[in-house]
Amino acid sequence: MELIDQHTKGIMEECKVRARDAGLRFDDESLEYIVTNRDLLELSPKGMIPTLYDYWVNDVEVIKGKERYKLYPNNPYETVINSRPAISFYNDNNPDWLNIMIFYHVLAHIDFFQNNTLFLNTWKDDFVGEALADKRYIEQLRSEHGRWVDYVVEFSRGIDNLAGYFDRLPLRGSIEDMQPPSKVDFYFDVFLQSMEKLPDHEIFKEIERYNKLITRNKAVAESAFFADVRKKYPEFSALYKKHTAKNGENVLDLMEFVRDNSTFLKKENNEWMKSVMNIVRGTSLYFSPQIRTKITNEGWASYWHDELFRADDRIKGHEVDYARTNAFVTSVSRVGLNPYAIGLRLIQYVEELVDKGKSAFGFQQLSKIEIREDFDKRTGKGRDAIFQLREKFSDFTLINTYVTQDFVNEHDLFVVGQRFNPQRGTVEYYIKSRKSEDYKKMLIEQLYHPPEISVIEDKTNDSNLYLSHQFEGKELMKAYIPETMTGIEYLWGGQVQLETTEIVKTDAESEDEELEYEHRRVLFTIKDRKISKTDL
Amino acid sequence: MPERKIDISAFLEKHGIDPEQEELVRRELEAGGEHHLVQMPPGKPIDAPGIYDFSDLQILQGIAPPKVSEVTALQTLEDLLERDEQREKDGFQKRIRIGRIVKPISGHKDQVVVVPTTTEPKFYHDTSTTEEEEATGGSGEGEEGEVIGEQAVDPREGEDGEGAGQGQGAEHDVLSDAFDLGKILTEKFSLPNLKMKGKKRAFTKYIYDLTDRNRGFGQILDKKETIRRIIQTNILLGNVTEEASVDPEELLINPKDRIYRVLSKEKDYETQAVVFFLRDYSGSMAGKPTEIVATQHLFIYSWLAYQYENKVETRFILHDTEAKEAPDFYTYHNSQIAGGTNVHPAYELVNKIVEEEQLARDYNVYVFHGTDGDDWDSVGEEAVKEIRRILTYCSRMGITIARNSWGSSGETTVEKYIESSGILKEKPDLIKMDMMVAADSTEERIIEGIKKLIEE
């Protein structure tokens, strides 16, 4: 990977000025790299984070398919990552006009990362720096504990989609009220003094080290400083997070619960495993907001690359090229779901709604079609509204709020179904529904949504961990239950039970009758790596 | 198949079978259906890009996701397998797999997995359990209910899917995929080689080996031969005598004394074999049993194609109450189940083919039969007779019984009559039978089954 050349960097800086003028807000620094196919081979399994820890599964072709995203809460192939400074990746032979368009797109993504409240917990750290420290730490552990490190990584990853991402988001998203201590303050004021109880001269030495780094390079000082801190005190990061989370409701997710309560992990020789769990959990949490804002984020970026580039004089002579590329990116598919297209149109729809005053309660009371159509209050507040949208909305809330019949009609959207045609021996794709509720339901079905599994503390003791799956109409993938539970059992060091619901087909009385499904609550128990199932 | 409707009561009267079996027969007959090719599997994911299939690098910059070449992936195979062995020792499940369900379905390139793969098990929602069809979004003209595109399921019709975003060239060659799969099978499972008996016949095929010797230059120094030469030279020079001990320092070396081995063409000898695959595709084979048998035969077929470099001839026979030969593996593998079960016509057909084409003279004959063990003919007189005939020329006959959930637990009809006929004991090296409960059988178990069928 090498940085882009000065000429292109100049173009990028120019784009930043214009994007800021339009209202986008992002950090000054950004890094742009040229990537080759070889780089991508390494980057894409690591979610484009160059410093992510190594893991053997990344070297193997992992079974792909439509289910992939359900398993991995990251989109492995992004052009810009949510780091400080933000890092983005480019082809080395893009023409300048295309780079301008991409830069605007990237800047809008950075703006989204740094302002959307779902990303709130990623604002305090530079993940790339943190990941580097983690990677080195895992390497060091590997040299001590060999393959067992990989087992712990594997078993932690087995439950990393259950990390309590939403539990860690402050309730109302108003960080001003909460004011947690900065990482630096916490380190010097609390951690070193009252937790580690270091003598004064040692603390002074640390302060000196910090100051030296600050004077040398302000931008990376903190992450460099904490990279060393993590090596010395691997537990620091967890303590800091715990400390800052005190304000919110402190519900432990499965990973945390196992980490803090497992008798197996409490053994002195196994303490290191907790750090590994933390690293895996942290990585999962880092990717969580991104997968939950795919449509919104891509829509936002597409909105701005279009707005900004069309107003940019550098487009001259490339209008047709741009129109082609933009159409390729943002046209609604005949069959399929393009997040760029849907996101962009939803954002434009919201802007128009507010501009015309149609989002107001008064409008919703109107039922006459002509009046509804001609309704226009010219509020001029559409822009403000979409800036609020970028701050507060996730894919789910955006779809759930704004996929209305008007929206579906305006863009001729429909739900596509498939059926088998035995005469022709083909699978047919047909228009199943043009109703907004069906379209909305279909969209929501597609969104990333891991199962909700929590620890039932009343039924849990040192020798038994009792988990309960909250049934949401879909059963858990059966094939993966035993192996996932094996991993939990290993980390827990004792029996693990999982309560879940299975969907059982009941025999239809006659052939014409529709198949009936019955929901049955079952309990899986794993002990000594043997799994059994009982009906509840 | 109206012409094949059988009068049940007349049939039952004639054969006089017990009520339990009567129930099975009835169910098979009533299930109806036809043997057409692939149907859309329930819960089939829709073949259109979804929200998470789009990414900036691809869409904005046109950088295709990097493809791990099979060669690169295979390089680490040894490490991976070693790691897997170690996992087993540590008490965890193996993780390297050769693909989940490997089925050659046209237009689904990624369903045939030819490199070592793994999965990362996690808890996640399974949407395939209810019959609700998968859906996606679309846009544009059209009334509700209107068909906007279709996709061919059977590639032999030569129709490419249209409208559904499926590009050209999505068809793939079953044989070449099977070949790659076989390579991994042999490496992973170290299947014992089929012992090639019978006549050997030279082929006009060569292999290259380091057999020829050359003086002065070449690929590998043949040390023993070189030393011999040096001694010879030095005897001639008088440096080595019988009386004095030899001082290696004193020996003179002629450049021509160095003997090397060089690659050379060698004629290779090969045996010939023909393998019969027999599959029960009667109605009772619904679901798991068919999956097991089809998968197992795909594995065997793949492995044979690899091990014997496509030199093994293969024949495919499908049977319900009647037997017919399938023209190719694709048809064999993908034909749908229906109808009742009679085992003997399949064996009869094997005998007929072998006789008519005089295969026994020039070929080693192997027969693999997969069934759920049901047979309307509970005595199996015919079947046993045909088996005995097969065993007169066959090098190995392997029968896999994938017990289905219809029948009672315990021995199936086919098992019973084969056991009681005593042929398993009479000719233990010629015929093997393997039983598994279809519903609980994993890929590992299927491979295990292959090992059983072909063990020496």
pLDDT tens-place string over residues A12-30: 999 999 999 999 999 999 9
* Between B278 and A40, the higher pLDDT residue: B278
pLDDT at B13 over 70: no
Are residues A441 and A458 located together in one domain of the fold? no
Q: What is the mean pLDDT of chain A?
A: 85
pLDDT score recorded for residue B182:
54
Contact state of A416 with B147 under an 8 Å Cβ cutoff: no
With bands split at pLDDT 50, 70 and 90, how would you rate the model's confidence at A68?
A: very low
Name the residue facing B143 among A336, A431, A477 (closest C-beta). Answer: A431
User: Is residue A298 domain-resident?
Assistant: no
Tens of pLDDT, residues B405-421: 655 556 788 888 888 88
DSSP string, A63-108: --STTHHHH-SS-TT-SEE--SSEEEEE-TT--HHHHHHHHHHHHH
User: Is residue A153 domain-resident?
Assistant: yes
CA distance B37 to A400: 42
With bands split at pLDDT 50, 70 and 90, how would you rate the model's confidence at B16?
A: low
Closest residue, chain A, to B37 (C-alpha): A425
With bands split at pLDDT 50, 70 and 90, how would you rate the model's confidence at B109?
A: very low
Give the distance from residue B447's alpha carbon to the nearest chain A alpha carbon, in angstroms.
19
User: Is residue A146 domain-resident?
Assistant: yes
Structure token digits, residue A468: 């309960």
Are residues A138 and A268 located together in one domain of the fold? yes
Ranking A172-181, A276-285, B197-206 by mean pLDDT, the lowest is B197-206
**How far is residue B177 from each of residues B70, B110, B302, measured CA to CA in Å?**
12, 11, 8
pLDDT mean over A370-375: 84
Contact state of B123 with A446 under an 8 Å Cβ cutoff: no
Contact state of A329 with B59 under an 8 Å Cβ cutoff: yes
pLDDT score recorded for residue B44:
59
Give the distance from residue A39's alpha carbon to the nearest chain B alpha carbon, in angstroms.
9
Q: Which residue's structure tokens are 């552990």?
A: A141
- Residue A250 CA, chain-centre distance (Å), reads 21
Are residues A192 and A150 located together in one domain of the fold? yes
Element (H, E) at A170: none
- For chain B, give every domain's residue range: 201-269, 272-454
Q: Which of A427, A450, A473 is the last residue of a domain?
A: A450
Contact state of B151 with A447 under an 8 Å Cβ cutoff: no
pLDDT score recorded for residue A59:
67
Are residues A90 and A30 located together in one domain of the fold? yes
pLDDT mean over A258-286: 92
Are residues A113 and A139 located together in one domain of the fold? no
Q: Which of A97, A124, A151 is the last residue of a domain?
A: A124
Q: Is residue B152 within 8 Å of B64, Cβ to Cβ?
A: no
pLDDT score recorded for residue A369:
82
Please list every residue in chain A whose beta carbon sits closer than 8 Å to the beta carbon of residue B89.
Answer: none
pLDDT mean over A305-330: 92
Structure token digits, residue B413: 């009809």
DSSP state of A62: E
Are residues A143 and A120 located together in one domain of the fold? no
Tens of pLDDT, residues B283-308: 777 777 887 888 888 878 777 766 66
Give the distance from residue B150's alpha carbon to the nearest chain A alpha carbon, in angstroms.
4
Are residues A170 and A67 located together in one domain of the fold? no
With bands split at pLDDT 50, 70 and 90, how would you rate the model's confidence at A153?
A: very high
Structural domain span for residue A201: 127-284
Give the distance from residue B130's alpha carbon to the nearest chain A alpha carbon, in angstroms.
8
Alpha helix ranges (H) inside B51-210: 56-61, 70-75, 77-89, 174-189
CA distance A305 to A317: 17
Ranking A33-42, A389-398, B102-111, B275-284 by mean pLDDT, the lowest is B102-111
A–B interface: beta-carbon pairs under 8 A: 311
Q: CB neighbours of A387 closer than 8 A, spacing ≥ 6?
A: A23
Domains held by chain A: number: 4
Contact state of A416 with B163 under an 8 Å Cβ cutoff: no
pLDDT mean over A257-264: 91
Are residues A135 and A184 located together in one domain of the fold? yes
DSSP string, B197-220: -S-EEEEEEEEEEEEEEEES--SE
pLDDT at B176 over 50: no
Contact state of A60 with B149 under an 8 Å Cβ cutoff: no
Q: Which of A235, A265, A284 is the last residue of a domain?
A: A284
pLDDT score recorded for residue B235:
80
Please list every residue in chain A whose beta carbon sits closer than 8 Å to the beta carbon of residue B120.
Answer: 57, 62, 71-72, 154, 157-158
* Between B21 and B413, the higher pLDDT residue: B413
Residues B272-454: name the CATH superfamily: von Willebrand factor, type A domain (3.40.50.410)
Give the distance from residue B100's alpha carbon to the nearest chain A alpha carbon, in angstroms.
8
Sheet strand arrangement including B364-371: B323-326, B313-319, B273-280, B364-371, B394-403, B431-437
User: Is residue A25 domain-resident?
Assistant: yes
pLDDT score recorded for residue A500:
92
Contact state of B138 with A342 under an 8 Å Cβ cutoff: no
Q: Is residue B417 within 8 Å of B382, Cβ to Cβ?
A: no
Contact state of A418 with B58 under an 8 Å Cβ cutoff: no
Are residues A131 and A275 located together in one domain of the fold? yes
Q: Which residue's structure tokens are 């993780």?
A: B95
pLDDT at A138 over 80: yes
Are residues A102 and A19 located together in one domain of the fold? yes
DSSP state of A58: G
pLDDT mean over B185-195: 48
CA distance A12 to A99: 8
Name the residue facing A431 among B50, B58, B138 (closest C-beta). Answer: B138
Name the residue facing B122 among A60, A71, A427 (closest C-beta). Answer: A71
Are residues A486 and A525 located together in one domain of the fold? yes
Are residues A434 and A470 located together in one domain of the fold? no
